[in-house]
Structure 1
Amino acid sequence: MPAIKHHAPITAPAEKIYHLLNTITGLEKWLRTEDGWKITGDEQPGGILTFHYKENGFHQMKVVKLKPHETVNWECTSGHPEWLNTTVNFAIEANDDKCMLSFGHEGWAEKTGFYSECHDAWGKYVAEIK
């Protein structure tokens, strides 16, 4: 199955990166409201986060796993049909005050035009995590 993968070196402690990935206030720092994003929901494991983007619809992501300062995993439960049952995974590898962030969006049925759009968009957004 195709998967979207991105890696980003970040000069920041793991605690900060983890906060940017697992809280609504953190997510809004790189999925900004001025760019058309609105994020609502429950940030806790088992909770559902809803990501609204302009008038283009939304995706609902179940928070599957949170491991403080290391891992954030979501599963798409609603939204674009190509996203259903895919998983979004963030892994933080800390080295003093620097981190390597590994991102994966896995479980795609096939590479389509929408897959390519999402690949490019995720690359842009992962680069915004600082």
Structure 2
Amino acid sequence: MNIEHLLKVKAPIADVYRTLTTEKGLAAMWTRDLRVSEDVGGVSEFRFAPDDDKTDMRIDQLVPNQKVVWFCIDSHPEWIGTKISFDLTETAGVTTIILRHMEWRDVTDYYRLCNYHWAMFLLNLKQYCEKGIVST
């Protein structure tokens, strides 16, 4: 079972890709307490206050200006073993992002909450890429 979202961003694909693969970009859309690996096989670490929740993502695939894939190795138990992908395409200066959070075991309240939060994080990404607004 997957969570899936589609978002259109009025920004060049290179800007969106950079947002999804750098500390500066991910800090603008997700959390400021992070350490990001920019290499396939590396692990990016994300921390969320006030509960000091953490999420560690192994970088499984980076295709510049096309695709980013993470594999969750540590987080809330329902996230561990799931994959997150961002597929990117650009037409006439508008980048389309398809986010998939894959391999959920069940539809739970936590699944529903995460579905909502992914939508909000994508909105943050849109505001950052289009207007330079840092939302976290």
TM-score where L is the length of structure 1? 0.92
Matching residue of 1:31: 30
Decide whether aligned partners of structure 1 residues 129 and 108 sit closer, same or farther in structure 2, where only a CA change above 3 A counts: same
Q: Secondary structure at the match of 2:73?
A: strand
Residue 51, structure 1, aligned to residue 46, structure 2: yes
Matching residue of 1:13: 12
Matching residue of 1:63: 59
Deviation of residue 24 (structure 1)?
Answer: 1.1
Aligned residues: 125
Q: Secondary structure at the match of 1:129?
A: helix
TM-score where L is the length of structure 2? 0.88
Q: What stretches of structure 2 of length at least 5 have no aligned partner?
A: 127-136
For the aligned residues, what is the CA RMSD? 1.0
Moved over 6 A (4+): none
Report the AA paired with residue 49 of structure 1.
Answer: S
Aligned identity (percent) is: 26
Q: What stretches of structure 1 of length at least 5 have no aligned partner?
A: none
Structure with a larger share of its residues in helix: 2
Does the 8 Å contact 2:22/2:36 carry over to 1? no
CA deviation string 1:14-50 (max 9, x = no partner): 00000000111111111243xxxx1114221100001
Q: Secondary structure at the match of 1:51?
A: strand
The match for 1:84 among 59, 63, 80 is: 80
